[in-house]
Structure 1
């Protein structure tokens, strides 16, 4: 089974993907993993490659292409990335979300910064990403039509979010 898990920063996509992989035995990759691999292939550290990638739409397009290829070549894979659902032919496409203040608190704890700073950075990043996704891929990140389920990760513990996805995969398998 191929599953995509997307969501905004701080929504729990990485945590959900990790727990889901442990529960199901399905390996997972993230857009970040692909980005780091591309940096190594270019003989750059991640920071240098990030600077190189700024304004270079070919990097974004290559990340999307590689995720799609990895999923196409796999029987079972969890693909975690903000817009992976648009490029990966998946059996299940999940969007995780949480209120902005919850996401800012999570990021502030994870990155040891103030909640206010995390909140400002999220707002700036999301505006930038929304414009980039629209410009590069003609994707409206606020359109949830591509997703099979949308989960408020603030309403459930991380383990429960993964369990919800497991239950949905069981339903899908019964319908196939």
Structure 2
């Protein structure tokens, strides 16, 4: 396969509130970095907020992850912060990106564009080899998270029906994936939008 990656990111003028979701290793951070540069806006990552929670409690990431299986307090604290951010930016009429596993659910109808990223398991594992978390731990965490979200909020994280775009990032390079999303943003006309999926607010 020919490498068609480029170092130039085109700029897009937009005031959309965008959510990006997907499992570990899906390419969310890479996409959000590119979107942030193209839209000249900031973004918040659920992973960063989770790290903040760990620091506030004087715990390592592994310790905090283990704690989530013992109590719902950690997950709900994270989700409340994400919901607050979604509420703020959903009413701001400024471009913004919120990245988290439940970002699309927590933002609800405040989100203008909801994106789901994924890739085959073996690709995601390879992409995350330099992280502290081992493959087995990552797989256990994914199953555990899915069970907790279903228990807490009755959310099926495998349900992609309400996402506006779903991209397998292993089939396209990072620049091509970014270009697909930028094209969708650039071509979006709110007055012509008849396809938005309405979602109820998640009680966190």
Matching residue within 148, 151, 167 for 1:135: 151
Alpha carbons 1:28, 1:79 under 8 Å: kept: yes
> In 2 relative to 1, CA 72–134 (structure 1 residues): closer, same or farther, beyond 3 Å?
same
Segment drifting more, 12-21 vs 44-53: 44-53
- TM-fit CA distance, 1:52: 4.3
> Tell me, which stretches of 5 or more residues in structure 1 are unaligned?
none
> In 2 relative to 1, CA 34–82 (structure 1 residues): closer, same or farther, beyond 3 Å?
same
- TM-fit CA distance, 1:51: 4.6
Equivalent residue number for residue 151 of structure 1: 167
- TM-fit CA distance, 1:53: 4.0
- TM-fit CA distance, 1:103: 0.8
Equivalent residue number for residue 107 of structure 1: 128
SS at match of 1:79: strand
TM-score w.r.t. length of structure 1: 0.85
TM-score w.r.t. length of structure 2: 0.74
**Aligned length, in residue pairs:** 169
- TM-fit CA distance, 1:49: 4.2
Alpha carbons 2:169, 2:177 under 8 Å: kept: yes
Q: CA RMSD in A?
A: 2.1
Equivalent residue number for residue 86 of structure 1: 105
Equivalent residue number for residue 33 of structure 2: 18
Matching residue within 101, 118, 141 for 1:125: 141
Tell me which structure has the larger Cα radius of gyration. Answer: 2
SS at match of 1:94: strand
SS at match of 1:26: coil
Structure having the higher helix fraction is: 1
SS at match of 1:23: helix
